[in-house]
Each structure stands twice: as structure tokens, then as C-alpha cells.
Amino acid sequence: MRVLMFGWEFPPHVSGGLGTACFGLTRALTALGHEICFVLPRLKGEGLTSHVELIPASEIPVPAGSTESPLSGFPEAAADPDDPYKGLQLRLINSILRPYLTEHQYEALLYGQDPSLFDDEGAEHETKQGYRILDIPGDYGPNLIAEVLRYAVVAGVIAESQDFDVIHCHDWMTVFAGIHAKRISGRPLVLQIHATEYDRSGENINRNVYDIERYGMSSADRIIAVSHYTKRIVVERYGIAPERVSVVHNAVTRSEARQAMQIGKDHEKKIVLFLGRITFQKGPDYFVEAAAKVLDIVPGVTFIMAGAGDMTTRMIERVAELGIGRHFHFTGFLQGAEIERIFSMSDVYVMPSVSEPFGISPLEAMMYDVPVIISRQSGVSEILKHALKVDFWDIDEMVNKIVALLKFSALGDEMVERSREELRNIRWEQAAEKVVDLYNQLLP
């Protein structure tokens, strides 16, 4: 079977769990004998090879003036006579889209207000044989949604030129691309939901993003949710019939490189780790408040917040207000060997997420023999029996569990031993087999 897959990141260039999940799932699918054509907005690094066929949309030419609008059939656009995208001439882009990008972050990046967060690249327009290729800092749409639509045009071109059996899309920024490819090819569409707008924003949702998510869920032939927690949100918040949603839990990839990264822990200097985007969804503020209370009980502990996000400045200020700066370190965004090293050094990993569709990082921490404390408001809590669980808002309970792991080594040792056994049964091969069964149900 050949699968046309649309996503936003793929190792080695990842921003979070989405890229890690795409890698693990596709590697397991190819191991089962299936072919994956994986489309990205752009691809950094020439000669990058992988187990999948990687196609950068930025290098696919689109005939000038071709193809219908990907907005065709989108209810909100059709109902609005003042649609800002009406008449938009969509062309190929070398997109600056990144996973987890908000409208404000997109605008900041677009106008160069925060170049330190992303690559500051530039190239002139190139025209050849009636095709136009747009590159940074070329003609961008007025906002993030327009960039999503531009990507969808390329999806139509790829759908016409590639042979495949099924289309598989990941999260909301691929919705128009997947639907457009489905219209042109007639192939079934699977939409995998790794996170919803309610996970990212709570009740203060971006209505444009919500509408696109709902449109994608309504248009897909089948929806994959990464947890029962996420399925409930899809059914209750988006009005999707439960029989159209299949749950396929994520897993974890164990590699030789990770097994080789073994740094001896300093048993006199305990480290408690938070690793993830420093945003509302991940609950970094609860981690900071818990840290202050833990230090009242176990004074010598070091807390590390690894990651970046829109709450970083606020967290730094709060740490200063609490007077715990000597015991608290902000590392910024980490990747690759840096993540492996920080896991290997840590004694406790805490994931206090407010709303976590799944959460791969606790599984990664367990691979380094780090006992984990996770939010009950997470998908990964459905499959982990040997992790300590708390409600994200219950700071006192979080403190009690952190202190217990720091003071009683036997508890941590027991959790580590049981976790090793548990990880043997959390494999991407199992997830891939479920996905293939779903594909087969959709094929004639």
C-alpha cells in the first residue's frame, strides 16, 4: 500500500512530539512493507535520507493560474461575501510555517521581529517555463491561514502526479491539503488529531482554527485520535459521531544512540525536570509553584525548565518573585543529543499538562530510567500504570509526589524497574497495525 502523508515536521528537524510521532509511525508502517510519500512545507538540509520518500512542497512547481481554490466547500468561507481569501492567487511557497505556530508568532516571524527563534533565510523569486516558485522572503499571505491554503495548492499538484491508495494528514494545518488531494484523486482521507485548539488554548479558542479543525473532521473518511481523552474532545466539542473516530495510542522509539547516552547521576544533587513547550497547555506555571514548595522541604534540589514558548518570560519573572533563582535553570529549546543528556541527568520528570492529547516525553524519560509524574489530564496516562499521576491544578499533591521520589530511592527504583517492563509493550508496530487495519476498511 502507498500512503500520501501530509505533515509539518520530521526528524531531525522537530519542534515537539508531532515530528517524533510521525517518525515512529511511518517507520513502523514501512517495516510492514508499506510505502510512505511524506510531504513537508520545506526540507532543510540537502541529501537528507529517510525510510520515507520526503517531498518538500517548496520545490514543487505549480502552473500559473492553475487549480481550484482549496477553500471550495469550506462553509465559513462560502457564507462570507467579504471572504478575505476570495480571489487569492495561490502559488507554491517555501513556507515559514512551523508546528505550534500561533497567529501572533507567525506575524512576528513574518516581519522579522524575533529572528532568533527561527532560521533567517532569504532567496529571490525564480521563474522558469511558466512556473513560479516563491521563497522566503517572498509573497506571503496576510496571515497564517493563507499560508495553510498555499500549502494546499501544492497538495493538489502532488495528488495529480503521485500514485497512492490513501491520504493521511496530521493536525489542522494539513486539513486543506488533505481535502484538496482527496478531491483531485478520489482517494480516502484519514485525519490524525494530535492536539485540538481546546488543548492549546483552553476555552479561549481561535475560532478560525476551530472551524478548520471541524471542517477537516467532517470531511475526513476516518479520524484517528491519539487517546480516548482526545476522542472525547473530538466527539463532544466538534460534534463528530464516535464511530467515525478510532483511537491509536502513540508509542516510543528506542535507539542505540539513546541507549548509549548514559551519564552518571549525582546522587547528592537531585534534578527535577520539566521538558516541553512553555505554553498554557503544558502547565509550566504549576511546575514553578510546586518547585518553590518542594525547596522548602528539600532545599538542595535543582529544577530545570527545558523548552521555549510564549510563557517563558512570565515564568522567569515568577521564579525571581519566589526567590528560587539559584535553584532553577531555563535551558531554552533543546533537541537531539541535548535532550538525551538532560534526561540522563535527571532524577524526576514532571509533566503537569493542563490538556495533553497524548504526551510522548514521559515515555522518553522512562527510557532513561527516570521516574515520571504525569497529569491525569493526558492521553499517556491511559496506558501507563507505573507512573505517579496528579491533577494538574493540585500543586500540593504534585509536591508530595516529587518529595516522595526525592527522599525515598526505593520508590523510584521500583518505578524504574516496572517501567522497563511496561515500555516493552508500548511499540509503534502495534500502532502501525491498527492504522493499516483502518486503511483497509476504507479501501474498496
Q: Which residues pair with 246 in a beta bridge?
A: 224
CA distance 413 to 62: 57
Report the SS3 class of residue 285.
Answer: helix
pLDDT of residue 130 exceeding 50, the answer is no
Where in 97-138 does DSSP place strands (E)? 126-128, 131-133
Tell me the three cell numbers of residue 254: 528506542
- Do the Cβ atoms of 150 and 173 come closer than 8 Å? no
**Which band of pLDDT confidence, cut at 50, 70 and 90, is reported for residue 383?**
very high
Residue type, 277: R
What average pLDDT score do residues 166-191 get?
A: 95
- Do the Cβ atoms of 425 and 436 come closer than 8 Å? no
pLDDT of residue 386 exceeding 60, the answer is yes
Question: For residue range 59-118, what is the model confidence (pLDDT) as tens digits?
Answer: 777 766 555 667 777 775 444 444 433 332 322 334 555 555 555 565 565 555 543 343
Question: Highest mean pLDDT range out of 85-94, 141-150, 327-336?
Answer: 327-336
Distance of CA 123 to the CA centre of its chain: 28
**Which band of pLDDT confidence, cut at 50, 70 and 90, is reported for residue 19?**
confident
**Which band of pLDDT confidence, cut at 50, 70 and 90, is reported for residue 275?**
very high
**Which band of pLDDT confidence, cut at 50, 70 and 90, is reported for residue 294?**
very high
pLDDT of residue 26 exceeding 60, the answer is yes
**Which band of pLDDT confidence, cut at 50, 70 and 90, is reported for residue 208?**
confident
Q: Which residues of 95-122 are buried (b: 16+ CB within 10 A; e: fewer)?
A: bbbbbbbeeebbebbbeeeeeeeeeeee
Please state which of the ranges 103-107, 170-174, 196-200, 340-344 shows the lowest mean pLDDT.
Answer: 103-107
Q: What is the pTM of this model?
A: 0.82
Report the SS3 class of residue 41.
Answer: coil
DSSP for residue 167: E
More confident residue, 320 or 134: 320
pLDDT of residue 133 exceeding 80, the answer is no
What average pLDDT score do residues 44-51 get?
A: 60
Q: Where in the chain is the domain with CATH 3.40.50.2000?
A: 2-251+432-442, 256-423
Fold of 2-251+432-442: Rossmann fold (3.40.50)
Looking at domain 256-423, which of 3.40.190.170, 3.40.50.300, 3.40.50.2000, 3.40.250.10 is its CATH number?
3.40.50.2000
- Do the Cβ atoms of 19 and 250 come closer than 8 Å? no
